[in-house]
Amino acid sequence: MLPTIEIGPLVIPSAGLVYILGIWLALTAAEKAAARLELNVAATYGVAVTTLATGFIAARLAFVALHWNAYQQNLLGIVWPLTSGYSLPAGLLFGIAGGFFYGRAKQLPAARTLDALAPSLITLLMTVSLADFLAGPGYGLRADLPWSIDLFGVRRHPVQLYELLGGFLALAGWWLARRSPQPFPGRLFLVSTTIYGSTRLVTDAFRANAWLSTDGYHLLQIISLLAVLLSLLLLAYLSPPSVAEQ
């Protein structure tokens, strides 16, 4: 849709600009949420930074290791350019591990820290959707609807905008759950996960380039379904009994 932004002689990749802005917003969200939940703001912010930095470095190094033949004659290519070439599974695994051990070192309560990090995580996911929308790597199925967009000469579902809407709903759910009485530790994270996972379960059906298994199943839908079911089970199990039940 808008792969580059031209400012005079400068040509800036829109996706890169969105990622920079999105990371700043995500870190700001973690900081603000920690303050609202009366957590150690500096330590919670540190968890977010450590998770992002560790995940970024691990994703890059894992990709380089997997494609070493392409880099051994160009070692500078390992660190530049950084606009592409990452292993998502490695980034997620090492990023979560880095944030977990940092949080343990700072003795942060796990469930409440997840509550504070939930808006940051959702913001990052929304950043990916917006970057995909502008740069065009992700696109929806053909659709002749009033809100369809023209992409590659074809009218398609604006699937990334659907994902952004799901992110806003999850953030609204986090905000409303925070204001409800007796929110047990972890509830805000579980509510956000349930809402966002439910929306991605629906929106991924409209993706033309969805991740598919060898049997043709949408992998992201399977992951979303498992996350939603687990979150609902934990919400039911951890919720305090109502006055009537007591």
DSSP 81-128: --SS---HHHHHHHHHHHHHHHHHHTT--HHHHHHHHHHHHHHHHHHH
41-98 per-position pLDDT tens digit:
999 999 999 999 999 999 989 989 988 888 888 888 888 766 677 888 888 899 999 9
Q: Give ∠ CA 106-176-246 in degrees, rounded to 5.
A: 85
Q: Specify whether the CB–CB gap between 203 and 212 falls below 8 A.
A: no
Q: What is the mean pLDDT of residues 157-185?
A: 91
- What's the predicted TM-score (pTM) here? 0.89
CA distance 95 to 97: 5
Q: What share of the chain in percent tops pLDDT 90?
A: 59
Q: How confident is the model at residue 186 (pLDDT cuts 50, 70, 90)?
A: very high
pLDDT of residue 182: 64
The H or E element spanning position 44 is helix 41-66
Q: Is the pLDDT of residue 166 over 90?
A: yes
